[in-house]
A = this chain, B = another copy of it.
């Protein structure tokens, strides 16, 4: 661990503050997201279902290349590459 006190302390403080700044922005975005859900709910949509939709669409993105990956993996696993 770097020295306690002096320049190392300033350095640590700098890192911590950068992180805290980023986390504030992240929290702000989380709040924005919450607001959008609330707005959608006010329009009559079901928040729980919307969350499921978002989750499933994210999974779909991950799956887009999954089949190819599996084939590639089998090939590599079997030394066919």
Contacts and interface: CB of A to CB of B under 8 A. Distances in A.
A59 B52 CA distance: 17
Given A45-B15, A76-B46, A36 B22 contact: yes
Interface residues of A, number: 52
B4 A43 contact: no
Q: How would you classify the secondary structure of chain A's contact residues: helix, strand, loop or mixed? A: helix
Contacts of A20: 54, 57-58
Interface of A: 1-2, 4-5, 8-9, 11-12, 15-16, 18-20, 22-23, 25-26, 29-30, 32-33, 36-37, 39-40, 43-46, 49-50, 52-54, 56-60, 62-63, 66, 69-70, 73-80
